[in-house]
Amino acid sequence: MTVGSRIAQKRKENNWSQEALGEQLGVSRQSIYKWESDATLPEIEKLLALSKLFGVSVDWLLGVTVQDASQEQDIPPQEELTDAQLQMVEEIVSRYLAAQPKVKARRRWPWLLAAVVVLIIGGGLFKRLEQLGNEYRNLQGALNSLEYSVDHQISGITGRVEEILKSQNHLTAEYGTQLLDMDGENVAFSMRAVPKTFNDGMDAVFLVDNGRGVQEIAAQRLNGGAFSAEATVELTDKITLSVVFVESDGTRQTQLLETYYDLYTGSLIDLMVDSFDLYGTEVADGRLVTYREYYAITKNHHVAKKVGNRMVEVASEGLQVGLFRNQKLVAWAEPCDQPSGYHGFTDSQFYRLPVEKLTDLTGEDVIVVGALVTDTLGRQYMCCDVPYEVLFTEEGKGELTYSSNGMCDRDPDTWTLTAGPDYNTATP
């Protein structure tokens, strides 16, 4: 078992969601997901907190001891390490590092964390390693800053390219755009541009490209050689506004004004969907091995979002939760009361999952619990939990584990929302 699978195992034994565990540790649900999928390792303090919360030792969490998870480790606080303890620490570090796969040099810093963590088995060892822990945190902070800087630079490439295009084809002395309003389906803009060189007989039009077509809007000429216009177009996630100056001889010169991103996606309600107890479910002979009922959980499904000048929320009876295989519906889940044993799920709705209908599973399948949302503007879109895939061992045993692709396609047109016999579902 990996560190992530051990954390997931103990979390499920306590019937906690990823969000509930995150609240107890003071971290986000995304952090818990990254730990359990082995994308990252918990920090030193969080491993200590997990150890206390689960009632297990840190070395058990790291998988470097034969000690049973139910046995407590009784090491009295000390200021100095005995020879026996030093030998034990050295052995644990060696065993842990020997068990890790070889990685590229630029990714060695997580194993530095592992080496530091295993040294803090006893409460009395923490003071001795405090300086080393501080050095690690400084290193981690520097790496995080570097990663953020790289991500920030990458995310800004599009904007810089647009600025370069503007500077290379800078036809305007002044320009501006403004988002006036949007209603979830359409968005309205105002545009204004002053040509750098104004000639008699010059005219202008504005172009609005939303990826589904280009509208050409006639400009109104203002005093001082300025041109302006307003336009309303269908709302999409990328809308580009440009001005075209038309000379008296028909010559046209185009200047990019602005590009708006993520307007449509940003107007959608981000509903939380959680099916955490599917993680680790055994797969045998292509079927899920089900010893109990499985549930999906949605939270804050009455949350409202302001879209333009309107408040939007999930419509009454506007939520359907289903089990999907490769974005094809297996079956819709049934709403149910909160099961006993689930605690801390305020403002949540539970759904009973029809997991017994999954058959003939392969390592190519992607299983996901998704919600078809209808909001009060009449729009429909998908919200999903982290997808699962089947991981098979050399012995042919399988289990559900988190997929490497955690993205959710929000467009319901790319999903099959009607179940059928060709979706490898068993007869109810």
**pLDDT greater than 50 at residue 124:** no
**The predicted structure's pLDDT at residue 244:** 95
Query: Tell me: the pLDDT tens digits for 223-250?
Result: 878 999 999 999 999 999 999 999 989 9
Higher pLDDT, 107 or 341: 341
At 223, which amino acid appears? N
Give the number of other Cβ atoms within 10 Å of residue 192's Cβ. 20
Give the angle 109-111-114 at the CA atoms, nearest 5°.
125
Question: What pTM value is reported for the model?
Answer: 0.56
Question: Within its chain, how far is the Cα of 55 from the centroid?
Answer: 30
Place of tokens 């981690």: 140
Distance CA 38, CA 113 (A): 14
Return the half-sphere exposure (C-beta side, CA atoms, 13 A cut-off) of residue 415: 26
- The count of other CB atoms within 10 Å of the CB of residue 183 is 16
Q: Which two tokens stand for residue 223?
A: 């005093």
Residue 397 has a pLDDT of 84
Residues 156 and 205: their CA atoms lie apart, in Å, by 29
Report which DSSP code applies to 101: P
Greater pLDDT, 305 or 126: 305
Facing residues of 425 across strands?
358
Q: Which residues contact 68 (CB under 8 A, 6 or more apart)?
A: none
Sign of CA dihedral 317, 318, 323, 325: positive
Q: What is the mean pLDDT of residues 378-388?
A: 91
What pLDDT is stored for residue 301 in this prediction? 54
Burial category of 159 from C-beta neighbours within 10 Å (exposed 0-12, middle 13-18, buried 19 and up): exposed
3-state secondary structure (DSSP) of residue 384 = strand
Mean pLDDT of all residues belonging to the chain: 77
Query: What is the C-alpha to C-alpha distance for residues 317 and 335, in angstroms, rounded to an integer?
Result: 12
* CA terminus-to-terminus distance, the chain: 34
Helix locations, 188-344, DSSP H: 263-266
Q: Are 24 and 53 in contact (CB under 8 A)?
A: yes
Please tell me the distance from the alpha carbon of residue 73 to that of residue 24, in angstroms, as a whole number. 23
The helix (run of H) or strand (run of E) holding residue 259 is strand 252-261
Is 263 buried (19+), middle (13-18) or exposed (0-12) by CB count in 10 A? middle
Question: What is the dihedral angle through the alpha carbons of 324, 35, 269, 296, rounded to the nearest 10 degrees?
Answer: 40
Q: Which of 19-23, 149-153, 304-308 ranks highest by mean pLDDT?
A: 19-23
> Residues 97, 62: contact at Cβ < 8 Å?
no
Q: Are 220 and 227 in contact (CB under 8 A)?
A: yes
The total number of residues shown for the chain amounts to 428
d(CA 83, CA 74) in angstroms, rounded, equals 17
Q: Residue 396 and residue 412: Cα distance in Å, rounded?
A: 35
Widest Cα–Cα separation across the chain: 93
**Given pLDDT bands bounded at 50, 70 and 90, which one contains residue 135?**
low
pLDDT of residue 229: 96
| 15 vs 338: which has the higher pLDDT | 338
Q: What is the pLDDT of residues 49-80, one digit of tens each?
A: 888 888 888 778 887 654 443 444 443 443 44
Question: Given CA atoms 194, 196, 197, 203 in this order, what sign does their dihedral have?
Answer: negative
The two three-digit tokens of residue 256, written as one number: 């990019």
Q: How far is CA 78 from the centre of its chain?
A: 43
| CA 221 to the chain's CA centroid | 47
Among 69-83, 140-154, 340-354, name the most confident range: 340-354
* Beta pairing partners, 399: 282, 391
